[in-house]
Chain A
Amino acid sequence: MIHFVLLISRQGKVRLTKWYSPYSQKERTKVIRELSGVILTRGPKLCNFVEWRGFKVVYKRYASLYFCMCIDQDDNELEILEIIHHYVEILDRYFGSVCELDLIFNFHKAYYILDELLIAGELQESSKKTVARLIAAQDSLVETAKEQASSISNIIAQATK
């Protein structure tokens, strides 16, 4: 099971956190501090895995962003690496050449996508197409709602002029 997902920039800034196991806010801060200390200092040629407090943390660097997932002792690390990559590919397809800035300003979208990929710390969908379709369905909803909102606000604006 995946206990949490962290996205940390090379400077140690948090870009996204998702906790599937209960951690208090205090513990979360501690975990992030501890792990970014360990992971950001690791050399490029080393393993993408770190043993940590009886768990394993699998991380992968994409450009200046580290994607980390914490898993149980008996999980398959290589699989988790691919789940990370799977997520990045979906993000890439969604944003069109995703970059860190996309995730900074649209972190909530990254959350929505993650929610279609993982549930309760398990991989729920391994087809990129399905995930993309679901996200698109939700987004089309957003678009129409936005259009409505803007047209209404236009009407209001004109009426109050």
Chain B
Amino acid sequence: MGSQGGFYQSKEFLDLVKSIGEARSKAEEDRIVLNEIETLKRRISEPDIPKRKMKEYIIRLVYVEMLGHDASFGYIHAVKMTHDDSLLVKRTGYLAVTLFLNEDHDLIILIVNTIQKDLKSDNFLVVCAALNAVSKLINEETIPAVLPQVVELLAHPKEAVRKKAIMALHRFYQKSPSSVSHLVSNFRKRLCDNDPGVMGATLCPLFDLITRDVNSYKDLVISFVSILKQVVERRVPKAYDYHQMPAPFIQIKLLKILALLGSGDKQSSAKMYTVVGDIFRKCDSSSNIGNAILYECICCVSSIYPNPKLLESAADVISRFLKSDSHNLKYMGVDALGRLIKISPEIAEQHQLAVIDCLEDPDDTLKRKTFELLYKMTKSTNVEVIVDRMIDYMISINDNHYKTEIASRCVELAEQFAPSNRWFIQTMNKVFEHAGDLVNIKVAHNLMRLIAEGFGEDDDTADSQLRSSAVESYLCILGEPKLPSVFLQVICWVLGEYGTTDGKFSASYIIGKLCDVAEAYSNDETVKAYAVTALMKIHTFEIAAGRKVDMLPECQSLMEELLASHSTDLQQRAYELQAVIGLDAHAVACIMPSDASCEDIEVDKGLSFLNGYIQESIEKGAQPYIPESERSGMLNISNFRSQDHHEASSHGLRFEAYELPKPIVQSKIPPASLASTELVPVPEKMYPRESYQTTVPSVSSDAGPSELKLRLDGVQMKWGRPTFSPATSTSNSTISQKTVNGITQVDGASTANSRTRETYDSRKPQVEISPEKKKLAASLFGGSSKTEKRAATGHKISKSSSHMVEKSHVPKSSMEVASEKTPPVQQPLDLLDLGEPTVTSTVPSVDPFKQLEGLVDTTQVASAVNHGLTAAAKSPDIMALYSETPADGDLLSGVLNPSMTNMPGGTTTRQSMPRSKGPNPKDSLEKDALVRQMGVTPASQNPNLFKDLLG
């Protein structure tokens, strides 16, 4: 059944594959494929194509589609194939449709009928093929059509069918939980199936069910535990062993389920402790699969109710992972550490150096995982170091997806733990500068709010310091090219509001800068709008302060441009600015009060301040205002009102039809307005519009900027946490002082806290454990004390941690001894990966084709005669060992190989493997001969194609 039977396709297809294989460029490949598509289009629609030919066409279609081209013209033929009576053809049809169609494709409706029929077939292979298709193609609407049959199949005599039926039901559950909610008992029943494969498959839907509703399955804890116990004690059939591990995939699934069931449940957790402890003890940590189970154990232990003994075992495994040379294990170790520190934060300390190594590793994946860990262990004591690191990394990458994520994490950490507002602003500047377009706009609003509100306490000097530092930093940053829009908006707002407050910078300087911004980013209307409003503020503040301001020429030209702008918003702002400049100091101060962005604007809804004016007008003979509800003649009144709502700034054309006139009774909607009409002759709803037209400045300009500048309402208030009040910051410094007199290493903690940036930039060599690394470790982990109480004992902790650093040499060296012992055991693992250099030594370095060219004839005969014979000749020694299944020697040699590769005596396996498997060159030669027979000459430059995937 091996490769010799494989090439039964036509020469055409082989040629296609070959020519694609030899294509030098993507363009050439595309050309070939497009050609093929044309051919297929023509051929496939010919009448009376023999089934066999059709099957090949469909497989060629699959191939074309796999290469990323559109084969939709042939989908219908694939669907037709599923209707065929012969399983052989049907199977190809099912394979093709499952690969072609997504569950929402229109053609699926044509298959449902066939599937229904096939599910009832006597031949279990037909049923299996149909179930495969069911789990890919059936969508929410078609579930009811097949559900009864699938449920029936749960009791099928063949375990393969039961298993697939379970998986299909699982898929249904994922698609639409309600459709199978009444069938849950079936899953429970199948858990006791006497075939381990079916039982293992049942764990998948149960895992999902338990994820959504833990409490209904607590009764199963005992069953799961006992199954796991049986598996661990090797009571499942040998066939489920994988690399000498009893049914590891089932173990992992069970551990996942137990983790869910035991989460926060002391009673259930107690039942699991023994078996999890057993796995920790029994698991072979030298194989990858063993480590996979150990990792899952750690996940389980960190999820269930904590047990000190298990936590200890978990910590041991983690330290083994972290100390391993394998990047994979380090990665898993860091991940596991992140899970465990939630329960026992102190375990991070002993791994600080390993974690820092991971952080500095060139492997991006490992680095990111480590950042995730740091994110989880951030506290107010180490936030500066961590966020600085994150930002440095953020700057260095250009994967937008991850950049967004890490930027939002930086913001989150900075908001939660910022030690000082100044630091916060600097951090935010960096985040905005480098990832501004990726962060949420809310973050910008938060930042503006912070600057405006300051500490939220009555410390005015600190607030103004904060503002002037912000202004200074922004003026500095403005020099850089290409800033993100969001950041510019913040800058403009802050400069407008506080640019001249402390008197350090002259108004004309700030105005000049703002004009530069508006000019440099002339495509960005929002930024321009912010800039103009900022200009207006600066001007009004100057006027209000009684200083004379002259329009700078650049400002003048900007205004001229904006007065004629296409954007009505910009135009309006420009006109407002023009109008405001002409007013006197008193009026201006009312319009634009200084530093009042956070004050609530009280709206006098009754507009009582106009009463005098109205009275005067009436006395002069004006008509008194008739409230809307009392009018009948004016039809479009209600329109005015609705217009007032959305037509805030522009008088543009309305394109929607006018509303139909409504009966008067309907139009008196708010009872409140009715009440007010009695007091004030002018109804409130009408007024804003009128005031607009007459441009009473107090209303329009006040509402305008406050609306566009800063939408404070609805923005979360995250500020003013007591953590970064000055009190705690002083306590921080006392801690570091205390530690200073302890050990020299610890003085890094204080410097790192205050001047972390410099320490990083100056950090260069890192042989063994460089002092910088120690510093970093101290600043990351040293302050891991969470509460104030522990902070008081910080002296002791840091001292012990420095001992740990030294101590860690001792266990490390012992670990080295251990790891020196392990290599021979790990060796066979490496062997399987042909990428490793070890394998090349077993494979002759000479090109096998050239070397064996002369031998072609003889071996060709040999392979033609009987492949099975050679296999049989190879296996007698093995047969003696395993006399269970002497019938299929061909199969047997295969069974043994993988298990042999993992025998503890790694060296012997290495030698025996090529022998038992058939020497590499010989096998390749057979294949080569065969391919040549088919008329395909493989490009000899690529002998890789013949290389065994498994060495």
Please provide the chain A residues from 48 to 72 with a CB less than 8 Å away from any CB of chain B in the complex: 48-54, 60-65
Q: How far is the CB of A6 from chain B (nearest CB, A)?
A: 10
B366 within 8 A of A: yes
On whether A82 and B895 interact (CB within 8 A), knowing A120-B170, A129-B239, the answer reads: no
Judging by beta carbons under 8 Å apart, are A141 and B87 in contact? yes
On whether A76 and B163 interact (CB within 8 A), knowing A44-B835, A47-B331, the answer reads: no
Q: How far is the CB of A149 from chain B (nearest CB, A)?
A: 6
Judging by beta carbons under 8 Å apart, are B289 and A50 in contact? no
Contacts of B871 in A (CB 8 A): 96
On whether A126 and B894 interact (CB within 8 A), knowing A62-B950, A63-B947, A97-B923, the answer reads: no
Q: How far is the CB of A69 from chain B (nearest CB, A)?
A: 14
Please provide the chain A residues from 79 to 106 with a CB less than 8 Å away from any CB of chain B in the complex: 79, 81-83, 85-86, 88-89, 91-102, 104-106
Contacts of A99 in B (CB 8 A): 923-924, 927, 945-949
B608 within 8 A of A: no
Judging by beta carbons under 8 Å apart, are A96 and B99 in contact? no
Contacts of B849 in A (CB 8 A): none
Judging by beta carbons under 8 Å apart, are B332 and A77 in contact? yes
Question: Which residue of A22, A79, A88, A91 is within 8 Å of B103 (Cβ)?
Answer: A22
Question: Which residue of A49, A101, A109 is within 8 Å of B331 (Cβ)?
Answer: A49
Judging by beta carbons under 8 Å apart, are A105 and B891 in contact? no
Q: How far is the CB of A67 from chain B (nearest CB, A)?
A: 9
Contacts of A138 in B (CB 8 A): 91, 125
On whether A101 and B835 interact (CB within 8 A), knowing A54-B401, A92-B950, A107-B66, the answer reads: no
Q: How far is the CB of B882 from chain A (nearest CB, A)?
A: 12
Q: How far is the CB of B781 from chain A (nearest CB, A)?
A: 23
Please provide the chain A residues from 19 to 53 with a CB less than 8 Å away from any CB of chain B in the complex: 20, 22, 24-25, 28-29, 32, 43-53
B765 within 8 A of A: no
Please provide the chain B residues from 241 to 279 with a CB less than 8 Å away from any CB of chain A in the complex: 242-243, 247-250, 252, 256
Judging by beta carbons under 8 Å apart, are B931 and A97 in contact? no
Q: How far is the CB of A66 from chain B (nearest CB, A)?
A: 10
Question: Which residue of A78, A102, A128 is within 8 Å of B291 (Cβ)?
Answer: A78
Contacts of A17 in B (CB 8 A): 66
Number of B interface residues at 8 Å Cβ cutoff, please give it.
110
Q: How far is the CB of A76 from chain B (nearest CB, A)?
A: 6
Judging by beta carbons under 8 Å apart, are B945 and A47 in contact? no
Q: How far is the CB of B458 from chain A (nearest CB, A)?
A: 44
Question: Which residue of A82, A85, A149 is within 8 Å of B52 (Cβ)?
Answer: A149
Q: B2-10, B220-228, B671-679, B819-827: which one contacts chain A? A: B2-10
Please provide the chain B residues from 685 to 714 with a CB less than 8 Å away from any CB of chain A in the complex: none
Report how far A122 CA is from B169 CA in the complex, Å. 13
Judging by beta carbons under 8 Å apart, are B292 and A79 in contact? yes
Report how far A140 CA is from B171 CA in the complex, Å. 30
Judging by beta carbons under 8 Å apart, are A64 and B947 in contact? yes
Report how far A81 CA is from B366 CA in the complex, Å. 17
Q: Nearest A residue to B95 by beta-carbon distance?
A: A111
Report how far A101 CA is from B136 CA in the complex, Å. 28
Contacts of A60 in B (CB 8 A): 833
Contacts of B250 in A (CB 8 A): 126
Contacts of A96 in B (CB 8 A): 2-3, 867, 871, 890, 894, 918, 923
Report how far A106 CA is from B949 CA in the complex, Å. 15
A130 within 8 A of B: yes
Name which of B59, B92, B289, B949 has the most chain A CB atoms within 10 A of its CB: B949
Judging by beta carbons under 8 Å apart, are A32 and B7 in contact? no
Contacts of A52 in B (CB 8 A): 401
On whether A92 and B894 interact (CB within 8 A), knowing A98-B948, A115-B132, the answer reads: yes
Please provide the chain B residues from 1 to 35 with a CB less than 8 Å away from any CB of chain A in the complex: 1-3, 5-9, 14, 17, 20-21
Judging by beta carbons under 8 Å apart, are B365 and A51 in contact? yes
Q: Nearest A residue to B914 by beta-carbon distance?
A: A97
B104 within 8 A of A: yes
Q: How far is the CB of B40 from chain A (nearest CB, A)?
A: 16
Please provide the chain A residues from 117 to 161 with a CB less than 8 Å away from any CB of chain B in the complex: 119-120, 122-130, 132, 134, 136-139, 141-143, 145-146, 149
Report how far A101 CA is from B204 CA in the complex, Å. 34
Judging by beta carbons under 8 Å apart, are A61 and B135 in contact? no
Q: How far is the CB of A19 from chain B (nearest CB, A)?
A: 8
Name which of A17, A47, A51, A100 has the most chain B CB atoms within 10 A of its CB: A47
On whether A108 and B835 interact (CB within 8 A), knowing A81-B328, A134-B160, the answer reads: no
Please provide the chain B residues from 77 to 110 with a CB less than 8 Å away from any CB of chain A in the complex: 86-88, 91-92, 95, 98-99, 102-104
Contacts of A105 in B (CB 8 A): 6-7, 9, 14, 17
Report how far A139 CA is from B125 CA in the complex, Å. 11
Q: How far is the CB of A140 from chain B (nearest CB, A)?
A: 9
Q: How far is the CB of A21 from chain B (nearest CB, A)?
A: 9
Report how far A53 CA is from B20 CA in the complex, Å. 30
Question: Which residue of B196, B204, B402 is within 8 Å of A51 (Cβ)?
Answer: B402
Contacts of B249 in A (CB 8 A): 79, 82-83, 123, 126
Contacts of A18 in B (CB 8 A): 99
Q: Nearest B residue to A29 by beta-carbon distance?
A: B68
Please provide the chain B residues from 882 to 896 with a CB less than 8 Å away from any CB of chain A in the complex: 890-891, 894-895
Report how far A79 CA is from B135 CA in the complex, Å. 23
Contacts of B949 in A (CB 8 A): 62-63, 65, 88, 91-92, 98-100
Q: Nearest A residue to B248 by beta-carbon distance?
A: A82
Judging by beta carbons under 8 Å apart, are B164 and A104 in contact? no
Q: Nearest A residue to B330 by beta-carbon distance?
A: A47
Contacts of B99 in A (CB 8 A): 18, 111
Contacts of A32 in B (CB 8 A): 68
Question: Which residue of B135, B239, B927 is within 8 Å of A101 (Cβ)?
Answer: B927
Report how far A28 CA is from B65 CA in the complex, Å. 10
On whether A86 and B242 interact (CB within 8 A), knowing A22-B103, A92-B894, A106-B6, the answer reads: yes
Judging by beta carbons under 8 Å apart, are B366 and A88 in contact? no
B184 within 8 A of A: no
Q: How far is the CB of A144 from chain B (nearest CB, A)?
A: 9
Q: Nearest B residue to A130 by beta-carbon distance?
A: B197
On whether A93 and B945 interact (CB within 8 A), knowing A104-B21, A119-B164, the answer reads: no
On whether A63 and B834 interact (CB within 8 A), knowing A79-B249, A120-B135, A128-B895, the answer reads: yes
Report how far A132 CA is from B787 CA in the complex, Å. 59
Contacts of A29 in B (CB 8 A): 68
Judging by beta carbons under 8 Å apart, are A130 and B239 in contact? yes
Report how far A115 CA is from B96 CA in the complex, Å. 12
Name which of A123, A134, A145 has the most chain B CB atoms within 10 A of its CB: A123
Q: How far is the CB of A120 from chain B (nearest CB, A)?
A: 4
Q: Nearest B residue to A96 by beta-carbon distance?
A: B2
Name which of A24, A77, A101, A137 has the most chain B CB atoms within 10 A of its CB: A101
On whether A62 and B918 interact (CB within 8 A), knowing A14-B67, A81-B288, the answer reads: no
Q: A residues within 8 Å of B by Cβ?
A: 10, 13-14, 16-18, 20, 22, 24-25, 28-29, 32, 43-54, 60-65, 76-79, 81-83, 85-86, 88-89, 91-102, 104-109, 111-112, 115, 119-120, 122-130, 132, 134, 136-139, 141-143, 145-146, 149
Q: Would you give 16 A-B contacts (Cβ < 8 Å), ordered by A? A: A13-B21, A46-B362, A50-B365, A51-B402, A78-B291, A93-B895, A94-B2, A96-B918, A97-B923, A101-B931, A105-B9, A108-B92, A108-B95, A120-B167, A127-B197, A128-B239
Q: Knowing that A96-B918, A120-B174 are A-B contacts, what are 5 other residue pairs whose CB atoms are under 8 Å apart, sorted by A's residue number?
A: A20-B136, A101-B945, A120-B168, A128-B239, A146-B8
Q: State the 9 A-B residue pairs at the shortest beta-carbon distance, nearest first.
A: A78-B292, A93-B894, A64-B944, A96-B2, A62-B949, A63-B947, A129-B239, A126-B249, A119-B167
Q: B residues within 8 Å of A by Cβ?
A: 1-3, 5-9, 14, 17, 20-21, 52, 59, 62-63, 65-68, 70, 86-88, 91-92, 95, 98-99, 102-104, 125, 128, 132, 135-136, 159-160, 163-164, 167-168, 170-171, 174, 196-197, 200-201, 204, 237, 239-240, 242-243, 247-250, 252, 256, 288-289, 291-292, 295-296, 299, 327-328, 330-332, 362-363, 365-366, 368-369, 401-402, 832-836, 867, 871, 890-891, 894-895, 897-898, 917-918, 920, 923-924, 927, 931, 938, 944-950
